[in-house]
Amino acid sequence: MLRLYDTRSRQVEPILPAGGRLLRMYSCGPTVYRHAHIGNLRSYLLSDLIRRVCERRRVRVEVSQNITDVGHLADDTDADLSGEDKVLAQSRREGRSPFELARFYEDAFRADAAALNFRPPEHMPRASETIDLMIELIAKLIEKGHAYADPDGSVYFDAISFPTYGEISGNRLDRLQPAHRIEGIDPRKRFHADWALWKPATGEMTWDAPWGRGFPGWHIECSAMSLHFLGERIDVHTGGIDLRFPHHEDERAQSNAATGHDVVAHWVHGEHLLFEGRKMAKSTGNVVLLSDVVAAGLDPLAVRLALMEHRHRHQMNLTWDTLRAADKTLRRWRTRVAEWAETPSRPLSTDHVTRVEAALDDDLDTPLALRVMRELERAESLPPGARLETFLHLDQVLALDLSAEIGKLGAAPLPAGASALLEERERARAARDWTASDRLRGELAALGVRVTDTPEGQVAAPER
Ligand code: AMP
Ligand code: ZN
């Protein structure tokens, strides 16, 4: 059974889906006004790994991941009142319409996700297309006394009405300090920690609401979409560590206030990625895109492998050297798999499978899982055909396309009858019957098959 570190309970907990064999997971998705960098992609790898581990355990996984294409201010709590929507600001800079811009970066994100073998989420709602869900939820929060509208058309969540605020991040209401801004606390707020659910505005990317024209706050997006697409019981909610506060605290308050119970069972966060020693972020100018990795001649899945060398819960520093090393390992594994695929298939090594699965179940210990893979690669006592099957089996979770080179080593397939002879020869060699082994080599040569004995076992290829 999968166990994950839960940010709210601050301990590793078993993940027992409320739906039995169906796990519902919500992952905060990208804001599509720029390319996702490989730090962002690390956060999405977390949910792909959770999904793949659960699917190996025969649990169906239903994922919802939003596309934020509207209304995402830098940070709702301390954005100044004229704070500009990121999508709008960038569309002005790039000289295209906000919708064009959002679609362009959404497509780029889907392409990056596909290149990293992230399984597509079942639901990928766009914020701009689900405004009605947000309006409905805001109305419900007002009705229940958890939100209030200002005559200017803005709506705020009443933080005091949600006493368990701060359980995820530890930022309880009594410890939150008012933001120190020149213009002081927003006079429309009853309490300094209240946040906007709706902001009045006119022009592009605004919608009519009972409180007036405007656009939704970022946090209400995720509450509305998660409740609508996954329902009131969500097993796992993922995101990068910086989303703990205020985004996830606010989302939790909204969803719980609307339903009257805890909606999300487990909050799971991925730590940040550093690159060459500095946090990867647009603000620090330290950004590497997947396209930069490909332009450097590396396989995009080298990024996936390099990221898995560290546990999601730890900060990690990636460098060009570690990326190049991961690329080398990836290519070597694919070549080995292709070589092993030229030998007869053998039952997989349940010992290695069990150890990799146990590592992944233990709060996604991917570094340990990869160490077991390396051990398996060198396990000379196992026939190549067993290593082949074990690698391919585990690749369902690792998703490194380890079968990519199969069939590309020797140009043509082996002639009929060759694989039976190869199996017989392997048995002869295991029994140290060298006479039979040599005879079989001769028979294979007569069929046009060249056999080479390697420390990993025999490798067969058609004679050119
Ligand atoms: P954004 O598109 O800015 O909303 O961010 C998308 C996701 O990437 C969020 O879950 C962030 O927490 C996460 N994220 C941002 N920077 C990093 C980083 N350097 N390393 C890992 N995750 C990050
Ligand atoms: Zn979110």
Alpha helices of 57-196 — where are they, by DSSP H? 86-94, 98-115, 131-143
So what's the pLDDT on residue 178? 76
User: Is the beta carbon of 127 within 6 A of some atom in ligand 1?
Assistant: no
So what's the pLDDT on residue 203? 85
- Residue of the CA atom closest to atom 23 of ligand 1: 40
Q: Using alpha carbons, list the distances in angstroms from residue 204 to 84, 104, 135, 164, 240.
A: 12, 18, 18, 37, 29
* Cβ(425)–Cβ(451) below 8 Å: yes
So what's the pLDDT on residue 412? 64
So what's the pLDDT on residue 74? 41
Q: Which residues surround ligand 2, an ion (CB under 5 A)?
A: 28, 222
- Higher-confidence residue of 367 and 203: namely 367
Closest approach atom of ligand 1 to CA 239: 10
Closest approach atom of ligand 1 to CA 28: 10
Q: Which ligand is nearest to the CA of 252?
A: 2
Percent of the chain at pLDDT exceeding 70? 95
So what's the pLDDT on residue 464? 58
**Nearest CA-CA partner of 447 in 463, 431, 464, 429:** 463
Mean pLDDT of 355-372: 98
Helix pair 320-340, 300-308: axis angle to 10 deg: 100
Does residue 81 register a pLDDT over 50? no
Lowest-pLDDT choice from 233-242, 339-348, 407-416:
407-416
Contacts of 48 (CB under 8 A, 6+ apart): 116, 117, 118, 119, 399
Report residue 234: phi and psi, to 5°: -110, 125
In whole angstroms, what is the distance from residue 152 CA to residue 109 CA?
36
Going by pLDDT thresholds of 50, 70 and 90, the confidence category of residue 79 is very low
**Nearest CA-CA partner of 342 in 399, 387, 398, 395:** 387
Closest approach atom of ligand 1 to CA 36: 2
So what's the pLDDT on residue 71? 62
Nearest-Å Rg of the Cα atoms of the chain is 27
**What tens digit of pLDDT does each residue of 250-287 get?**
999 999 999 999 999 999 999 999 999 999 988 888 99
Going by pLDDT thresholds of 50, 70 and 90, the confidence category of residue 128 is very high
So what's the pLDDT on residue 397? 98
User: Is the beta carbon of 394 within 6 A of some atom in ligand 1?
Assistant: no
**Nearest CA-CA partner of 116 in 290, 250, 326, 245:** 290
**What tens digit of pLDDT does each residue of 386-438 get?**
999 999 999 999 999 999 999 887 556 778 888 889 999 999 999 999 999 99
Q: Which ligand is nearest to the CA of 39?
A: 1
So what's the pLDDT on residue 75? 42
**What tens digit of pLDDT does each residue of 91-126 get?**
888 888 888 899 999 999 999 999 999 999 999 999
**What tens digit of pLDDT does each residue of 39-60 get?**
999 999 999 999 999 999 999 9
> Which domains, from first to last, does the chain contain?
3-270 (3.40.50.620), 298-398 (no CATH), 418-462 (no CATH)
**What tens digit of pLDDT does each residue of 149-208 get?**
999 999 999 999 999 999 999 999 988 877 655 556 788 999 999 999 999 998 888 999
pTM of the model: 0.87
Does residue 293 register a pLDDT over 50? yes
Does residue 454 register a pLDDT over 90? no
So what's the pLDDT on residue 88? 80
So what's the pLDDT on residue 78? 37
In whole angstroms, what is the distance from residue 15 CA to residue 51 CA?
12
